[in-house]
Amino acid sequence: EEKSRAAAAAAATSDGGGDLGDLGVEAAYERIPETLRDAMFPFQREGVKFGLARGGRVLIGDQMGLGKTIQALALVSCYPEDWPCLVLVPTSLRDAWESALRRWLGVRPSLIAAVASGADGNKINGAAFAIVPYSLVGKLGEKLARKKYQIVVCDESHFLKDGKAQRTKAVVPLIKAARRAICLTGTPALSRPIELYTQLEALRPNVFTKFNEFAQRYCSGSRFGWQGCTNADELFGVISRLVMVRRLKKDVLTQLPPKTREQVFLPLPKSEALSEVKAIRERLNDIKESNRDEGVMHGGEAAGSGAPGRTLEEKRLMNQLYVASAKAKIGPVQEYLETLIDGGADKFLFFAHHAELLDAAAATLKKRKIQHIRIDGSTPSTARGKLVETFQTVDAVRVAVLSIKAAGVGLTLTAASAVIFGELSWTPGEIVQAEDRAHRIGQVNSVSVQFLCARNTVDDIMWGSVQNKLENLGQVLDGTSGDCLDLANGKDGRGGFATGNGAAKTPASAPKPPKRTYGDRSPGGGPLARMTNDSNTPRAQ
């Protein structure tokens, strides 16, 4: 009977049946790079040790914003003898994982194969880390199987909930064949345990052996289906003992800063808008070179579209670049929002400046039948109060689609503890004000802020502009460099954040991250990367 098999297995072992080889948990934990160890919160360290005690076969089910990725990276670093490592991700998270590997584990770019298409399959040969989107696992299945990966990470592993899906059929054998397997999901589907079965079977095939027995015991299984939930307390106890560690924000609130930030890079597919972005950047570079030859100074590379040193032509091109970048990001932003929806994200706010991005977000939510509100410049002032009340009080309304300018002030939206920016604003104060729709009196959770950005777009320039403006504002108001706005920089694992009331601090032993303009789901520099949590210790989330 499933009860006796799973429950007995859980009761009979103190370590989940893990394979530590010649190492104990503490010895294995000491293999984690010092910078990474120091950056983790206590609950994240506990999560890593939980995984180590189970031989690196673990389901990390922490709520969004609690740093699942950094725990996975720490676990991976404990098993270098099992590298190369296969990382399976939604397409929208491919670049974020590449950046996190470089920053936290110091992996050279030449040793990371970030697969973008089936034609990239040969990239995995000789790579220490292969990052493969779920959408390509089917095409690359035989090649991946031949590599015999001994450590596999599955981000957003709820993608595997349908045991009949081709994606699941391709991925589960890779997990079973690996010595170490780390699944990450913020939504372990505890209310519909049938959606957990494929992950549990993949991680502990010696325990979860018979689908029908599992379905009958825990899913109200019958000839009419397995969509119910029975013996939930028993199942939670079993999986918590054997394979799953899960914390909610409210469980670890005392360890979290009031607001965390993460920068998430989105891969951009080829498009007319992207071609336009490249063309505009080339013209701006030509003007910059021409001005340099003529000895014209423009007040810094990161000046905004309205910077005093820019010519009218540069300002015109900068505005065109802002629009073109927004259009180029529409598809990736929509895909990222779908990833959040599939992950069962709690209520969140989505901010953008351009109508194209706001329309795209609303269209995605409508397609997925997600109830939401929208407030932009066309929303009558008389309607805003009712929309806010609806978002605050109706559980089924999960998302607020908001204009940075029109909805960035005067609204209280504390029912959300996550804020997503589809693009930046030239004015840093608008960013802070938008964040503070959720981060204000009445908020009982730590607020997670994500910036969705793309390399080689206007994001590169805007980030530098925002940093410069905050530096200058801090010197004028406080006589210090960027201290006037205490901001945080955090990440859902999927990296980290810098804290403190002064410059963001980096441990002396930290490996130097690659030079970057915008960040990488990990700490960025400058005042926009700072936020107080009454601590000077860098943390990773």
- Interval 263-271 mean pLDDT: 91
Distance of alpha carbon 375 from alpha carbon 371, whole angstroms: 14
Number of residues that this document lists for the chain: 541
Distance of alpha carbon 440 from alpha carbon 435, whole angstroms: 9
Q: What is the pLDDT of residue 222?
A: 62
User: Residue 120 in contact with residue 76, Cβ under 8 Å?
Assistant: no
Report for 16-25, 92-101, 287-296: range of highest mean pLDDT: 92-101
- Supply the DSSP string of 463-487, one letter for each residue: HHHHHHHHHHHHHHHHSSSS-SS--
Nearest to 176 by CA among 204, 157, 195: 204
Q: What is the pLDDT of residue 360?
A: 98
Helices (H), 5-129: 8-12, 25-29, 34-39, 42-53, 68-77, 94-105
- Supply the DSSP string of 368-427, one letter for each residue: TT--EEEE-TTS-HHHHHHHHHHHHH-TT--EEEEETTTSSSS---TT--EEEESS--S-
Structure tokens given for 495: 């990296």
DSSP label at 484?
A: S
- Local structure of 274: helix, strand or coil: helix
Nearest to 539 by CA among 4, 28, 39: 39
User: pLDDT at residue 497 above 90?
Assistant: no
- Supply the DSSP string of 357-384, one letter for each residue: HHHHHHHHHHHTT--EEEE-TTS-HHHH
Q: Which domains does the chain have, with CATH numbers?
A: 2-248 (3.40.50.10810), 259-268+329-529 (3.40.50.300), 272-326 (no CATH)
pTM for this model (two decimals): 0.75
State the amino acid at position 58 in one-letter form.
Answer: V
DSSP label at 3?
A: I
Q: What is the pLDDT of residue 185?
A: 92
Map tokens 């296969």 to a residue.
86
HSE (side-chain half, CA atoms, 13 Å) at 463? 23
Report for 427-431, 473-477, 520-524: range of highest mean pLDDT: 427-431
- Interval 322-332 mean pLDDT: 97
Q: What is the pLDDT of residues 356-409, one digit of tens each?
A: 999 999 999 999 999 999 999 999 988 999 999 999 999 999 999 999 999 987
Residue 283: count other Cβ atoms within 10 Å of its Cβ.
15
User: pLDDT at residue 51 above 70?
Assistant: yes
User: pLDDT at residue 150 above 90?
Assistant: yes
User: Residue 471 in contact with residue 456, Cβ under 8 Å?
Assistant: no
- Interval 299-312 mean pLDDT: 55
Distance of CA 9 to the CA centre of its chain: 34
Residue burial 107-143, b: 16+ Cβ < 10 Å; e: rest: beeeebbbbbeeeebebbeebbbbbbbbebbebbbee
- Kindly provide the residue ranges of all beta strands, DSSP E only, lying in 208-294, ordered along the sequence: 244-245, 259-265
Nearest to 200 by CA among 213, 217, 188: 188
- Interval 89-94 mean pLDDT: 91
- Cis check: omega of the bond before 42, within 30 degrees of 0: no
What is the maximum alpha-carbon separation in the chain? 82
Q: What is the pLDDT of residue 226?
A: 76
User: pLDDT at residue 15 above 80?
Assistant: no
- When pLDDT is cut at 50, 70 and 90, the band that residue 261 belongs to is confident
State the amino acid at position 451 in one-letter form.
Answer: F
- Local structure of 152: helix, strand or coil: strand
